[in-house]
């Protein structure tokens, strides 16, 4: 042990410092708990709390490599576990021994704090006592002076470390009071301890003590009041770890946070006002205000933020213990430990996360033998990942285990009577898998004592939803399962991009912002295109799906200068899309405020904020927009999958159809094979040839046929006058353009043609995407049209050879 000089022994690693702060707090509580427990031995919650604390300390010091401390904590824990299991009943001897343990731990912590070493203290006597107590040996009813229990036996053998003066003094007192040490194992009486405290040595004793200070007596502090040492002479010049931290009421922090939020808004208002001012001193003052506010805001935010690693730190142990008990091998990995979350959120995700981790080990990862058989590494892999995305914090828990079998889920749900068979039949695989969150559901074939303890996944889901989060599963049978928890950042101040569309401003969290693209009119005409009826933009060789914010919101565009297109490229999940806005206004720090329940259900908003001018602006939820505009949608994914894996062995004839919209609400389709090209013409290029409208196309004249009039369908009420969509068909030695109102999609469907219409141009009707669609015989239409066209234009066309 070091002397009283109290130099802090160099740098303490951050994780050690955290451990110290946490442990000191816990130890203070332990003292209280132990005393409470003595007066109320049946109090299980107190006992569990004590057990947990010692357990935590033990676990952490094992991790940090403090072996001696771990050993002491370990025997203490053994004793406590006996108490907890009811094998032993607490008695004064046990309490005293436990208090001695606490003191020993505290002493070692102090040593670690000042030197980053555990010190050379010998705690074998204490360990022996604890072990004996744990073994149930009767060690009570010994004479009172047993206070020296740890002190005396150790004293002769102890060497090396000169104790601090104060501690030395106390030790001296003990020795005087109990000159003949009792054999170790006798339990000190608490009364004696307090007596000792009361008998704090007078000055002479101190002097005397100083004289004997060099005498070996290191076990002393196991009983001595280490706290006294701290509070008085021993306090080093630099403040100790525990002094540098205070506990603050979270309510107070919340209030501070709110006030800072208000301050930020006021600052924004002043800044806006400043921009129109010329008074330099006023401008300077407001700039200072700006800086200070930013720093204050950052500081207050930090007080509430904690890295998620704090919660994760206990998982290696949890996983290890659990894996051992169920005979599995699991390695746990972490990504994004430093991702910070609001403290209250950290608290509330602790339990759900633990449950999910246990669940993955217990149900997800297979036993080593099974893994080996199917060609996986014997050791399973569990990855915890945390990251910020789109104004949310995502936490993923993935394992490379067996995955979730939707069939099993289905069978189980049916067996448990949670759903009827016909309901289950309608569910997609994804929906089936999500049933594990249904109350009263457990897929484990055998209920282990680990998971399946009645706290089901439904509780996990409820807890996460309570803090406004969502949980989602993606699973691949045989490959593994990933749980994705998405937690919103309410109460937070975030940098945002402010855009305008339809006369309104919207804020977009910058975390989901990828880039801003501005296309001038000419460029836009080239780069913006339509694929399967969905607008896309060619961006550096890739096709970027576009979402027009005005269209999405159903507001009319307030754009006046129609010469450029502003695209905000956003990241949603793993995909990017472009949000077309009227203009990009500014970047600004915004305070995220929650929306009232009446608007919360609109998935495209993440919240609202107050802008510099005092008006409210909505914050866009990038994921919500992507989903609503089906940039990301299960349906589309499924369709694409269907397209790519279209079944050749299918008995029904499958055909690829081009879906077209005619009139307001009428859908037709033509076999894609009969389509030459899809073109778009400006109305300006239409010309007349005789009675027919034509366009010049590829050095020839192409007659146009309006499909709506051919089929006798009323024309669309709001035709797109800016462009004309044309399906080019070649047949009979000539190209003909069939004008339609909309080109919708290309689908691959099983053709079950039913003849409903008597029109000769309709080959039949089928159902495509849940809508009745007429299949048009484009060849016949074109032929009919050509006949009349050629009749009336024979002369006009004679010089062109078709």
Partner 1 sequence: MAVNELTERQYCTFYLDGHFLGIGVKEVQEVLKYQYMTEVPLADAEVAGLINLRGQIVTALDLRKVMGLGPRQGKLPMNIVVRSDDGPLSLLVDEIGDVVEVEKESFEDPPETLEVSFRHLIKGVYKLQEKLMLVLDLDRAVFSLVDA
Q: Which two tokens stand for residue 178?
A: 């109990």
Q: Using CA atoms, how far apart are residues 205 and 760, in angstroms rounded to an integer? A: 119
Going 104 to 110 to 116 to 119, the CA torsion angle's sign is negative
Rounded-to-integer distance, Cα 216 and Cα 235, Å: 22
Can you read off the two tokens belonging to residue 56? Answer: 């935590």
Question: Least Å distance between CB 598 and partner 1?
Answer: 5
Cβ neighbours for 522, distance < 8 A, ≥ 6 positions apart: none
CB of 557 to partner 1, least distance (A): 13
Nearer to partner 1, 119 or 607 (CB): 607
CB of 628 to partner 1, least distance (A): 8
| Rounded CA separation 511/388 (Å) | 7
**Cβ of residue 261: shortest distance to partner 1, in angstroms?**
8
Q: Which of 621, 617, 620 is nearest to 505 (CA)?
A: 617
Residues engaged in binding partner 1 (CB under 8 A): 261-262, 265, 502, 504, 552-555, 593-599, 602, 604-605, 608-610, 614-618
147's CB contacts (< 8 A; 6+ apart) are 174, 177, 178, 188, 189, 192, 193, 196, 223
Q: Which is nearer to partner 1, 154 or 260 (CB)?
A: 260
Q: Of 528 and 617, which has the nearer Cβ to partner 1?
A: 617
CB of 435 to partner 1, least distance (A): 25
Least CB distance to partner 1 at residue 506 (A) = 10
Cα distance between residue 339 and residue 393, in whole Å: 8
Shortest distance (Å) from residue 629 CB to partner 1: 11
**Per-residue tokens: 379:** 């050791």
If the CB atoms of residues 415 and 597 are measured against partner 1, the closer one turns out to be: 597
Helices of type H across 217-249 = 226-231
Q: Which two tokens stand for residue 76?
A: 């203490």
Q: Which is nearer to partner 1, 269 or 470 (CB)?
A: 269
- The 3-class secondary structure across 563-611, one letter per residue, is CEEEEEEEEECCEEEEEEECEEEEEEEEECECCCHHHHCCCCEEEEEEC
For partner 1, the closer of residues 215 and 552 by Cβ is: 552
Measured from the CB of residue 613, what is the shortest distance to partner 1 in angstroms?
9
Nearer to partner 1, 514 or 558 (CB): 558
| Residue 760: how many other CB atoms lie within 10 Å | 10
Do 570 and 513 form a contact (C-beta atoms < 8 A)? yes
Q: Which is nearer to partner 1, 609 or 761 (CB)?
A: 609
Measured from the CB atom, is 90 or 610 closer to partner 1? 610
| Main-chain dihedrals φ then ψ at residue 535, nearest 5 degrees | -70, 135
Residue with smaller CB distance to partner 1, 307 or 624: 624
Report how many helices (DSSP H) and strands (DSSP E) the chain contains, helices first.
27, 29
In the complex, minimum distance from the CB of residue 265 to partner 1, in angstroms, rounded to a whole number: 6
Phi, psi at 403, each rounded to 5°: 75, 175
Q: What are residue 480's DSSP bridge partners?
A: 476
CA distance 404 to 427: 15
**Closer to partner 1 by Cβ: residue 344 or 555:** 555
Give the C-alpha distances (Å, rounded to integers) separating 304 from 361, 556, 558. Answer: 31, 42, 41
As measured in angstroms, the least distance from the Cβ of 666 to partner 1 is 27
CA-based nearest residue to 114, from 300, 243, 284? 243
Residue entry with tokens 């399906």: 727
CB-based burial, 706-723: b 16+ in 10 Å, e otherwise: bbbebbebeebeeeeeee
CB of 300 vs partner 1, minimal distance in Å: 16
* Least gap, CB of 268 to partner 1 (angstroms): 12
Nearer to partner 1, 546 or 604 (CB): 604
CB-CB contact of 60 with 52 (8 Å): no
């Amino acid at each position: 042990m070091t002397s009283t000089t109290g130099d802090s022994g160099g740098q303490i690693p951050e994780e050690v410092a955290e451990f110290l702060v946490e442990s000191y707090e816990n130890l203070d509580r332990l003292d209280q708990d132990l005393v409470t427990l003595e007066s109320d031995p049946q109090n299980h919650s107190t006992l569990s709390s004590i057990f947990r604390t010692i357990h935590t300390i033990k676990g952490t010091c094992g991790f940090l490599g403090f072996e001696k401390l771990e050993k002491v904590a370990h025997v203490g824990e053994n004793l406590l576990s006996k108490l907890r299991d009811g094998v032993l009943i607490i008695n004064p001897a046990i309490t005293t021994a436990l208090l001695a343990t606490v003191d020993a731990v505290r002493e070692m912590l102090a040593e670690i704090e000042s030197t980053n070493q555990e010190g050379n203290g010998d705690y074998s006597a204490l360990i022996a006592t604890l072990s004996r107590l744990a073994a149930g040996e009767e060690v009570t009813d010994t004479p009172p002076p047993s206070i020296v229990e740890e002190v005396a036996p150790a004293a002769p053998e102890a060497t090396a470390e000169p104790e601090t003066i104060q501690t030395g003094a106390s030790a001296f007192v003990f020795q005087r009071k109990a000159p003949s040490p009792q054999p170790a194992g006798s339990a000190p009486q608490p009364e004696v301890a307090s007596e000792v405290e009361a008998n704090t040595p007078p000055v002479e004793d101190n002097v005397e003590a100083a004289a004997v200070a060099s005498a070996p007596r290191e076990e002393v502090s196991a009983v001595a009041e280490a706290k006294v040492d701290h509070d008085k002479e021993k306090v080093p010049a630099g403040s100790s770890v525990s002094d540098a931290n205070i506990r603050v009421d979270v309510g107070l922090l919340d209030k501070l946070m709110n006030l800072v939020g208000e301050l930020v808004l006021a600052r924004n208002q002043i800044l806006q006002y400043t921009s129109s001012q010329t008074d330099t001193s006023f401008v300077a003052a407001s700039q200072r205000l700006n800086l200070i506010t930013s720093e204050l805001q950052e500081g207050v935010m930090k007080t509430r933020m904690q890295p998620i690693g704090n919660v994760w730190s206990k998982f290696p142990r949890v996983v290890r213990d659990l894996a051992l008990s169920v005979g599995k091998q699991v390695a746990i990995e972490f990504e994004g430990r430093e991702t910070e979350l609001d403290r209250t959120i950290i608290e509330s995700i602790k339990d759900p996360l633990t449950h999910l981790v246990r669940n993955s080990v217990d149900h997800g990862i297979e036993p080593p033998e099974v893994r080996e058989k199917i060609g996986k590494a014997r050791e399973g892999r569990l990855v915890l990942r945390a990251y910020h995305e789109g104004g949310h914090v995502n936490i993923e828990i993935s394992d490379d285990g067996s995955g979730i079998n939707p069939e099993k889920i289905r069978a189980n749900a049916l067996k448990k009577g949670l759903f009827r068979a016909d309901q289950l039949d309608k569910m997609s695989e994804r929906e089936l898998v999500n049933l594990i969150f249904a109350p009263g559901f457990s897929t484990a074939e055998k209920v282990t004592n680990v998971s399946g303890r009645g706290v089901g996944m439904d509780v996990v889901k409820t807890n996460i939803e309570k803090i406004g989060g969502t949980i989602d599963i993606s699973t691949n049978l045989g490959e593994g399962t990933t749980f994705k928890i998405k937690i919103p950042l309410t109460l937070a101040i975030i940098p945002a991009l402010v855009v305008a569309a339809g006369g309104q401003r919207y804020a977009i969290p910058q975390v989901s912002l990828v880039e801003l693209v501005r296309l001038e009119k000419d460029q836009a005409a080239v780069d913006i295109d339509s694929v399967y009826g969905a607008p896309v933009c060619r961006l550096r060789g890739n096709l970027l799906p576009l979402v027009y914010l005005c269209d999405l919101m159903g507001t009319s565009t307030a754009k006046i200068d129609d010469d450029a297109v502003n695209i905000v490229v956003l990241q949603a999940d793993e995909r990017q899309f472009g949000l077309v806005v009227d203009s990009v206004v500014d970047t600004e720090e915004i305070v995220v405020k929650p929306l009232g329940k009446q608007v919360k259900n609109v998935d495209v908003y993440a919240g609202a904020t107050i802008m510099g001018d005092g008006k409210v602006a909505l914050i866009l939820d990038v994921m919500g927009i992507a989903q609503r505009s089906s940039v990301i949608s299960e349906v589309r994914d499924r369709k694409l999958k269907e397209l790519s894996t279209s079944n050749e062995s299918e008995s029904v004839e499958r055909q690829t159809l081009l879906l077209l919209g005619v009139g307001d609400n009428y859908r037709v389709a033509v076999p894609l094979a009969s389509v030459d090209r899809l073109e778009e013409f400006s109305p300006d290029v239409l010309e007349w040839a005789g009675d027919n409208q034509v366009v010049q196309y590829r050095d020839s004249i192409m007659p146009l046929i309006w499909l709506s009039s051919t089929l006798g369908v009323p024309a669309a009420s709001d035709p797109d006058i800016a462009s004309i969509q044309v399906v080019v068909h070649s047949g009979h030695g000539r190209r003909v353009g069939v004008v339609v109102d909309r080109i919708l999609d290309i689908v691959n469907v099983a053709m079950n043609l039913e003849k409903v219409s008597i029109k000769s141009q309709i080959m039949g009707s089928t159902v495509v995407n849940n809508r009745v669609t007429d299949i048009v015989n484009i060849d016949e239409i074109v032929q009919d049209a050509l006949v009349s066209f050629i009749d009336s234009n024979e002369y006009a066309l004679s010089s062109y050879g078709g």
